[in-house]
Every structure is written in structure tokens, then in C-alpha cells.
């Protein structure tokens, strides 16, 4: 089994050979490492993308808007991802961001995961019928289990989710009340036995 370090290095170097700058190539290396760590087919999709890249009519999406559409070509997943991550600070208050026709969208996905960490919010990503929840770049939940190559997603939507507790205020108060049973009233004996409270110095 290849190490994550090997995956990062080879992905970075192959990306530079495929025509991306060293800076973007480093981002790609981190991304493929992330995908493989979460058991998503990063190497498989990156390899296939580079084999077919020259024949694809790719459009570079540099300015992300609420609706990002292309009908005659396909958006490059790498440039679209870099732009999304760079601009996430200005996009975080938009409820839904839509794209059409992103080539090899699995390669776009880790940029969204990293954006989730930047803004401190979960992000719901839908690639046609495949759904992903980005959890602050710590994990990715998904209904996508096959190690497959996805050459194109026609409809992509991103929802930035508001941070909410999974429990009610009543449930919190009930549990907090139970936790109070561990509180011990401080007395003179506890004060003397506490850390740093000794009466003699052994040094």
C-alpha cells in the first residue's frame, strides 16, 4: 500500500508535468492525499484526467458566482477548485452556489472540504445524484461507495450549512443537571490536599 506521503509527492510532480504551476501542483498533492485518506478514488480520477486532459475543451473558472454555467465546454476541476477555495471568504454568506459541467468533479471535491475548515462551517456538496458532507476538513460523509472514475457532473450544487446543535436546549439542561452530581464543595481538607497546597517543601 502506498503511503500518503508518496501519494502527495507523485500527485504534485505529475501535476507539474501536466502543465500546472508548482503552487497549484502542491495544492493538488494535498488534495489527492486527502481523497485517498478518506477512501475516495483520487489517484484513479487524477490519472484518467491527465490522460484525457489534452482532448478536453476545458474552461478556467476564475470568478465564482452564485450561478456558474457553461454549456459548450467543461470547467477545469482544478482551476475551479482553486478559485473556490481562494474566494470562500466572500462566498460564505451565499446559501446555494451552483455549477454546470465540471469535468472530473472528484478532483474539485477536496477544495470544498478545505473551504469548510476555512469558514468553520459544514458544506453539503451534490454532484448529480452523489451527496457529500464536508466536516471542517476532518472527515467527509458520502453516499458514494464505488471506486470509480466520474468524468463529468452536469449539475453541481453547494450549500453552506449553518452551525446548529444536534440536541435540544432541554436535553442539554437535563444532561448538565446530571453532570452537577460530580461537583464537590470545596472544604479545608481539599484545599490542603490539592496540587501545590503542601505545607512542606521537599526541594
Cell, residue 198: 503542601
Instruction: Give the pLDDT score at 100.
Output: 97
d(CA 107, CA 156): 13
pLDDT digits (tens, 9 = 90+) for 81-124: 999 999 999 999 898 999 999 999 999 999 999 999 999 999 99
pLDDT digits (tens, 9 = 90+) for 9-62: 999 999 999 999 999 999 999 999 999 999 999 999 999 999 999 999 899 999
How many structural domains does the chain have? 1
The residue range of the domain holding 37 is 4-160
The answer to whether residue 112 is domain-embedded is: yes
The answer to whether residue 192 is domain-embedded is: no
pLDDT above 50 (res 199)? no
Task: Give the pTM.
Answer: 0.84
The answer to whether residue 56 is domain-embedded is: yes
The answer to whether residue 140 is domain-embedded is: yes
CA atoms lying within 13 Å on the CB side of residue 120: 2
The answer to whether residue 118 is domain-embedded is: yes
| CB neighbour class for 107 (10 Å; exposed up to 12, middle 13-18, buried from 19) | buried
The answer to whether residue 197 is domain-embedded is: no
The answer to whether residue 180 is domain-embedded is: no
**Locus of grid cell 468533479:** 105
The answer to whether residue 124 is domain-embedded is: yes
pLDDT digits (tens, 9 = 90+) for 124-180: 999 999 999 999 999 998 887 678 999 999 999 999 999 999 999 999 999 999 999
Amino acid at each position: 500500500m502506498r503511503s500518503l506521503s508518496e501519494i502527495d509527492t507523485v500527485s504534485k510532480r505529475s501535476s507539474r508535468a501536466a502543465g500546472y504551476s508548482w503552487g497549484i501542483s502542491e495544492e493538488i498533492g494535498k488534495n489527492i492525499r486527502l481523497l485517498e485518506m478518506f477512501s475516495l478514488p483520487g489517484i484513479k480520477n487524477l490519472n484518467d484526467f491527465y490522460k484525457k486532459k489534452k482532448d478536453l475543451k476545458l474552461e478556467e473558472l476564475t470568478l465564482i458566482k452564485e450561478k456558474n454555467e457553461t454549456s459548450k465546454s467543461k470547467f477545469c476541476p482544478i482551476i475551479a477548485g482553486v478559485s473556490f477555495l481562494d474566494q470562500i471568504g466572500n462566498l460564505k454568506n451565499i446559501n446555494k452556489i451552483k455549477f454546470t459541467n465540471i469535468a472530473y468533479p472528484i478532483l474539485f471535491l477536496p477544495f470544498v472540504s478545505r473551504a469548510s475548515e476555512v469558514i468553520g462551517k459544514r458544506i453539503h456538496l451534490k454532484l448529480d445524484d452523489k451527496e457529500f458532507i464536508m466536516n471542517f476538513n476532518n472527515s467527509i460523509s458520502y453516499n458514494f461507495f464505488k471506486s470509480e472514475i466520474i468524468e463529468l457532473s452536469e449539475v453541481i450544487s453547494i450549500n453552506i450549512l449553518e452551525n446548529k446543535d444536534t440536541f435540544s436546549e432541554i436535553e442539554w439542561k437535563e444532561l448538565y443537571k446530571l453532570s452537577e452530581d460530580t461537583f464537590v464543595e470545596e472544604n479545608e481538607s481539599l484545599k490542603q490536599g490539592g496540587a501545590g497546597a503542601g505545607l512542606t517543601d521537599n526541594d
